[in-house]
Structure 1
Amino acid sequence: MKIVRVQDIIGTEREVEGPGWTSRRLLLKKDGMGFSFHETIIPAGAELNLWYKHHLEAVYCVAGNGTITDLATSEVHDITDGTLYALDNHDRHVLRGGTADMRLICAFNPPVTGREVHDEDGAYMPDPEG
């Protein structure tokens, strides 16, 4: 059994920041669960152009607001507390923070190893060890 508290991750190697986001990685590949699990904060007004071409991601909003734009269809969806979106087709998308910081709970498959940041396509690179 694993017990992980987000307050114990803040300020450690499991808290990773990039332009417009902070990710607190609660479970990583090395934890052996088959997925990674994160709390991600998107500040109000942030805009992220993302494409997880090597990962599938499910995201559940527990606070704040924003939008997600599907770049294949140009559809824009509101993201608010209680909304889940799943990037089940490696969807290119733009995530925009709204008027209040978004707090998102995210699961990635395959799991991330821990220090990944977005590349020029907005993706995390696959783990070279598989």
Structure 2
Amino acid sequence: MIVRTLSDCEKTDRRVATDTWESTRLSLKDDGMGFSFHITTIYPNSETHIHYQNHLETVYCIEGEGEVETIADGKKHKIVPGTVYILDQNDEHYLRGGPEGMKVVCAFNPPLTGKEVHDENGVYPLDAEPVQG
């Protein structure tokens, strides 16, 4: 069994921050679960271009509000607490934080290794090592 607290993880290299978001990665690839699990804060009035070509992601909003816009069709979806969005088609999108930002819970498959940030195309690199577990 693995037991961690969010506050403990926030004080380690499991917390990764950029100009538009910060993410504390509670469960990572080396935990052997087959997915990774994160608590992410989207900064107020921010916009992040994301295109997970190598990962699938489920995102559940627990605080604040924002918006997701799919690039292929220009559809905008309001995100508020209790909303889930599932990137099951490697959907290229913009994620925008509202005036107060938002906090979301994220799960990635395949799991992240811990230091990933979006490249110039909004992509996280794929770790080529097979997942155990």
Shorter-chain TM-score bucket reads: over 0.9
Letter in 2 for 1:95: L
Structure 1 unaligned residues grouped into runs of 5+: none
SS of the equivalent of 1:90 reads coil
Structure 2 unaligned residues grouped into runs of 5+: none
Number of aligned residue pairs: 130
Specify the alignment match of 1:63 in structure 2: 63
- Supply the distance in 2 between the matched residues of 1:42 and 1:11 (Cα, whole angstroms): 18
- Supply the distance in 2 between the matched residues of 1:43 and 1:124 (Cα, whole angstroms): 19
Deviations 1:75-123 (A, max 9, x none): 0000000000000000000000002121000000000001111111111
- Supply the distance in 1 between the matched residues of 2:22 and 2:11 (Cα, whole angstroms): 11
- Supply the distance in 2 between the matched residues of 1:84 and 1:4 (Cα, whole angstroms): 24
- Supply the distance in 1 between the matched residues of 2:43 and 2:115 (Cα, whole angstroms): 20
- Supply the distance in 2 between the matched residues of 1:85 and 1:41 (Cα, whole angstroms): 16
Specify the alignment match of 1:35 in structure 2: 35
Runs of 4+ in 1 over 3 A off after TM superposition: none
Specify the alignment match of 2:109 in structure 1: 109
SS of the equivalent of 2:90 reads coil
| Normalised TM-score (structure 1) | 0.97
Q: Percent identity between the aligned chains?
A: 48
- Supply the distance in 1 between the matched residues of 2:11 and 2:121 (Cα, whole angstroms): 27
